[in-house]
Amino acid sequence: MDLFLHLCIMSLIYIIFALSLNLEVGYTGLFNFGHVAFFGIGAYTSALLTLHHFPFEISLLMALFLSGVSGFLLSLPSLRLRGDFFGIATLGFGEIIRMAFQNEVWLTKGPMGLPGIPKPKLLSIRFATLPQYLLLTLGFATLTFLILRGIIRSPFGRVLKGIREDEIAAEALGKNVYRFRIKSFVVGSIFAGLAGVLWGHYTTFISPNDFTIIETVLVLLIVVLGGKGTEWGPILGAILLIFFQESLRFLRLPPEYSRYLAPLQQMIFGSLLILMMRFRPEGLIKERREHGCLS
Amino acid sequence: MRKIIYPLIFILFAFSFSYSYAQETYKIGAAFALSGSIAVYGEGFKKAVDLAVEEINASGGIKGRKIEIIYEDNKSTPKDCVTAVRKLITVDRVPVIFGPAASSNFMAAAPVAQENKVVMISAEGAAPGLTKAGEYIFRVFPSDVLQGKGISDLCLQLNYKEVPVMYVNNDWGMGLKNVFVENFKKAGGHVMDEIPYDEGKTDYRTELIRAIKGNPKAVVNLTYIKEGAVMFKQAYEMNIKVQWICGSAAKSPKLVELAGKAVEGIIGTYPVFSQETKEYKAFRAAWKKKYGDEKIPIFAEYNYDMVYLTAKAIEKGGYTSEGIRKALFEVAKGYRGVTGDKTFDQDRGVGSEYGVWTIKDGQIVDYKKK
Amino acid sequence: MSSFLLQTILNGILAGCIYSLFAMGLTLIYGVLNFVNFAHGELIMWGAYFLYFLMQRPLNLPLPFALLPALFLTVLLGLGSDRLIFKPLRKANRLTLLITSLGLSFLLRNGAQLFWGAEIRTYGLEIKKGMKFLGMSITSNQVAIMVVSILCIFLLYLFFYKSRMGKSMRAISDDLELARVMGIPSDRTIQWTWVIASSLAGLGGVLLALDTNLHPGMGLINLVKAFAATLLGGVGNLWGALFGGMVIGLAENISIWILSPGYKDAIAFGIMVVMLLSRSSAVFSSKE
């Protein structure tokens, strides 16, 4: 039962993470390959502050704030790049952030990681046990879902989609494409930070190894598999992938073969990405295209 | 609807049946790195554990019941360590787990075991604060607090008062470096430079050049097998002639295989135990019989001892985590394993002496001062 | 002290040669096919592993005989991935192709790990002490790296400036606008592009592995540097890639003297960020 709760919590954290990426990838057409950086900034900020006995509410807000600010600072130069080079620039940013976690030992304890991150206490309720933590993540995930849906359905969201479809037309209609993209990127970064906060306080131990490019690929796969640019796609993708990964544990393979299992699983992920792009680039859930959305 | 329900009930029955059937053995969890970046080590650990289990079961198990190890792959990442340990606790309901190897992975999973009151033991973790998570966390491997001092003593013994230190930039390397630097400075030594380097790179030439700036006679290099092989090869190619001083993680035949004559003459410390005891000789003979060679992988002996200690603790304290936790102290007190005395201290760790290894004619041998 | 500096520069040039070989292949694919091939790093890695495969039992080929077949296999892998994966997506947008190549990179890297495991391997050649030269040490392998790199660049020069195929490829690659007007290049051009890019990758991989070791992650690490080199030199520009690779190789090695070596890998990205901020490269979208 606990394992099931654990997987639910993991899925919910990845749902938040994937929803935030979906705003960028799905609705704005920004292929961010360094999304894990904001996940990491969120996790580290909140972990460090609570370890220094700041209350969780303040740590959380600071974490979201810092994720947003770093998202803003990164977006200023990188959003001037064309799509694929934007991807590479963000990839580089993700790696630099990971290296900073690893090397700025005075702050992050470097590769030793941060053990003993306290369980969160929000509005004087402590979320320590698994069911309690599940409630907390469920609450935040619902909140994330509602806020992001609100944004997407608002006129602002429609402009984002318009830019994704036809940048030139959007510009011709007097929209400042650059600014809209920055806003979308900042919002995405903030929610990625939120996912990071929840992850750090859940495992109670974080180290730079948690924030590698593999995480980015996983969350990208979640969005693309589930259906980018849809409200429910990332949720479906996260649940499918997290449970699929762990279901392999129940295959009860002889341990000699599990050496082959992990690369095989990654190979399946790789093939899935290729096949999805080839045969169903829109993902499991298909986006309904609205016409004339640049009202 | 019924069409679905009946098979479901049947499946549930089948599951619960197989579950109760599995209760016939004493199950022990093992969250090992069977894939991922440190899978090379994981395979060796598994062999050692299997050997011990086979021996115990062949001689009648624990009070007639056999031991069964449930291996879970931890994929060498902290995230999957947590999941693997959770799975072992909740699905397999084991009261005791052999923990992940790398210290950072172990420390990610330890709070989970502690929270669920399940005993977790490390046979390789060297980080000083490894068992801090709580009273259910043990280790049968000595802390690097001791090894750091060992390296410092070795440098001074050999009259190297000024050395730069290079270390692999991860939890193990940095932890050991900190203890070494602290001890070395206290003893009057001078650390010329500190050079961290990343794991898994192919080119360390300029790092090496920086290390030998100021012409030190010796360089302390706290490296793994992989990185060590690359570095010593490149140092050899660049005609760098210094005395290399390593830690325990590089002591492996694999290093010689990868770097050949470039590693000739390097020395290093390692937690030492006599290879002349009857326990060690029996272990080596058993290894040869089962696996057909004497290439005993690094830290295999500790894993072997861990299994025996756990089996004894189950026998004495019963098959509950509380029983095992209490019994571990008692059975380990004065226990002479393959790796020597396994008495736990108050931090649930063990002590050790440190010896010095060197590579001579392609063989790892004990270092004798000329 | 000056010999330290010279050796550092030499190390930088060596690293730069290898980055350049990678970056030139990457930029060529980008120039002709108009997408960033994430799987280029895996071509590098497979090139090295193909040679390893041929030199081990049961084939036991000596290095000089194994080299060409290994390159041939790498080229086949490149052409195969184009035929099976990228060809059906010729009209897809760049981001679809980018994700596809990311998937391919994952597939190929873990494929290598499946066959050969995650551990590090070596060709098992004898280790030689380097020759002394102006206070620097240089091994015959390293001389080979430089000679082969220069040779490759010379051959590429001949190909791109003397042959018709090369000229048209260069025209497409250098001028992205022109490429867009001309539409999708002919199959033959595309095939030649893959042949050249894969051979450069395979050769670079073999040289890298000869100088160091083999590892399933060796391609990815160096690909990131190649990206940065490409950005630095101007996308699609072959000579720019050469220049970018050299700059990054040198900067990385010199940085070790100034920064904590833990940041060595960040240098390439740092340069990239500076490039983005300085707006001097051809990568900006302006009004695209």
Residue A106's pLDDT is 81
Contact B40 C260 (CB under 8 A): no
Q: Where are the alpha helices (DSSP H) in chain C?
A: 2-33, 40-55, 63-81, 94-116, 140-162, 164-174, 176-182, 187-211, 218-233, 238-258, 266-278
Residue B339's pLDDT is 81
Contact B77 A255 (CB under 8 A): no
B84 pLDDT higher than 90: no
Q: Return the number of other C-beta atoms located less than 10 Å from residue A154's C-beta.
A: 11
Contact B36 A255 (CB under 8 A): no
Query: DSSP string of A197-235?
Result: HHHHHHHS-B-GGGGSHHHHHHHHHHHHHH-TT-SSHHH
pLDDT band at A13 (very low <50, low <70, confident <90, very high): very high
Residue C246 CA to residue C240 CA, distance in Å, equals 10
Q: Which of A126-130, B4-8, B13-17, B309-313 has the highest mean pLDDT?
A: B309-313
Residue of C1, C52, C109, C212 to mutate when probing chain B, most B C-beta within 10 A: C212
Tens digits of per-residue pLDDT, C34-81?
Answer: 788 889 999 999 999 999 999 887 777 887 888 899 999 999 999 999
Residue B6's pLDDT is 56
Looking at chain A, which residue has its C-alpha nearest residue C86?
A278
> CB neighbours of B276 closer than 8 A, spacing ≥ 6?
none
B22 pLDDT higher than 50: no
From C97, C111, C266, residue closest to A267, measured CB to CB: C111
Contact A29 C95 (CB under 8 A): yes
Contact B169 A203 (CB under 8 A): no
pLDDT band at A189 (very low <50, low <70, confident <90, very high): very high
Is residue B121 within 8 angstroms of chain A, CB to CB?
no
Which of A76, A79, A71 has the alpha carbon at shortest distance from A97?
Answer: A71
Contact A82 C98 (CB under 8 A): no
Which of C242, C253, C14 has the alpha carbon at shortest distance from C142?
Answer: C14
Contact A277 C89 (CB under 8 A): yes
Question: What is the mean pLDDT of the segment spanning B25-48?
Answer: 82
Q: What pLDDT tens digit does each residue of chain C (288 aa) get?
A: 567 788 888 888 988 988 899 998 888 888 888 788 889 999 999 999 999 999 887 777 887 888 899 999 999 999 999 989 888 888 777 778 888 888 899 899 889 988 887 777 888 777 777 777 777 778 887 888 889 888 888 888 888 888 888 887 777 766 656 666 666 677 788 888 899 999 999 999 998 888 877 888 888 878 878 888 887 877 777 788 888 899 999 998 888 888 777 777 788 878 877 776 665 444 443 333
Tens digits of per-residue pLDDT, B105-160?
Answer: 888 888 888 888 999 998 888 777 788 888 899 888 888 888 888 888 888 888 88
Residue B192 CA to residue B208 CA, distance in Å, equals 14
User: Which chain A residues contact residue B82 at CB under 8 A?
Assistant: 203
Looking at chain A, which residue has its C-alpha nearest residue B32?
A255
Classify C134 in phi/psi space as left (phi over 0), alpha (psi -120 to 50) or beta.
left
Contacts across the A-B interface (CB distance below 8 Å): 93
Q: Return the number of other C-beta atoms located less than 10 Å from residue A59's C-beta.
A: 25
Mean pLDDT, chain A, whole residue set: 85
Q: For chain B, which chains pass the contact test of at least 3 CB pairs under 8 Å?
A: A, C
Q: For chain A, which chains pass the contact test of at least 3 CB pairs under 8 Å?
A: B, C
Contact A273 C260 (CB under 8 A): no
* Residue in the structure block whose two tokens are 């360089």: B219
A5 pLDDT higher than 70: yes
Which of C43, C44, C69, C78 has the alpha carbon at shortest distance from C193?
Answer: C78
* Residue in the structure block whose two tokens are 């005075």: A106
Looking at chain B, which residue has its C-alpha nearest residue C209?
B202
A294 pLDDT higher than 50: no
pTM: 0.81
Which of C76, C77, C80, C81 has the alpha carbon at shortest distance from C104?
Answer: C81
> CB neighbours of A145 closer than 8 A, spacing ≥ 6?
A15, A19, A231, A235
Kindly provide the ipTM of the predicted complex, given to two decimals.
0.79
CA distance A1 to chain B (A): 7
Classify B66 in phi/psi space as left (phi over 0), alpha (psi -120 to 50) or beta.
beta
Contacts across the B-C interface (CB distance below 8 Å): 103
CA dihedral C195, C201, C205, C208 (to 10 degrees): 130
Helix/strand/coil for A254 = coil
Contact A115 B129 (CB under 8 A): yes
Residue A212 burial (C-beta neighbours within 10 Å; 0-12, 13-18, 19+): middle
Residue C224's pLDDT is 79
Tens digits of per-residue pLDDT, B220-275?
Answer: 999 888 888 888 988 888 888 889 998 888 887 778 888 888 888 888 888 877 77
The alpha carbon dihedral of B287, B292, B294, B300 has a sign of negative
* Residue in the structure block whose two tokens are 């270390």: B167
Contact A115 B107 (CB under 8 A): yes
Contact A31 C85 (CB under 8 A): no
Residue of B98, B107, B130, B177 to mutate when probing chain A, most A C-beta within 10 A: B107
Residue A295's pLDDT is 38
Contact B205 C11 (CB under 8 A): yes
- Give the A window 218-237 contacts with C, CB below 8 Å: 220, 224
Q: How much of chain B, in percent, has pLDDT values that exceed 70? A: 93
Which of C199, C173, C197, C220 has the alpha carbon at shortest distance from C38?
Answer: C220
CA dihedral C83, C89, C91, C97 (to 10 degrees): -110
CA distance A82 to chain C (A): 5
B13 pLDDT higher than 60: no
CA distance A58 to chain B (A): 25
Residue A252's pLDDT is 64
From C110, C273, C285, residue closest to A266, measured CB to CB: C110
Contact A89 C284 (CB under 8 A): no
> CB neighbours of A241 closer than 8 A, spacing ≥ 6?
A14, A218, A221, A222, A225
Is residue A263 within 8 angstroms of chain B, CB to CB?
yes
- Per-position b or e across A133-150, b if 16+ CB within 10 A of its CB: bbebbeebbeebbeebee
Looking at chain B, which residue has its C-alpha nearest residue C136?
B238
Residue of C127, C140, C214, C223 to mutate when probing chain B, most B C-beta within 10 A: C127
Contact B198 C262 (CB under 8 A): yes
From B35, B169, B202, residue closest to C208, measured CB to CB: B202
Question: What is the mean pLDDT of the segment spanning B205-225?
Answer: 87
User: Which chain C residues contact residue A281 at CB under 8 A?
Assistant: 92, 96
CA distance C71 to chain A (A): 24
Which of A190, A142, A201 has the alpha carbon at shortest distance from A12?
Answer: A142
User: Which chain A residues contact residue B116 at CB under 8 A?
Assistant: 2
Is residue B175 within 8 angstroms of chain A, CB to CB?
yes
CA distance A160 to chain B (A): 35
Read off φ and ψ for residue A202, nearest 5 degrees.
-75, -50
From A29, A82, A266, residue closest to C288, measured CB to CB: A82
User: Which chain C residues contact residue A278 at CB under 8 A?
Assistant: 85, 88-89, 100
Residue A243's pLDDT is 85
Token pair recorded at residue B1: 């609807």
Read off φ and ψ for residue B353, nearest 5 degrees.
-95, 160
Which of B121, B74, B70, B59 has the alpha carbon at shortest distance from B304?
Answer: B121
Least confident of A39-53, B42-56, C125-139, C239-253: C125-139
Q: Return the number of other C-beta atoms located less than 10 Å from residue A77's C-beta.
A: 16
Residue A65's pLDDT is 96
Question: What is the mean pLDDT of the segment spanning A41-58?
Answer: 92
Residue C283's pLDDT is 42
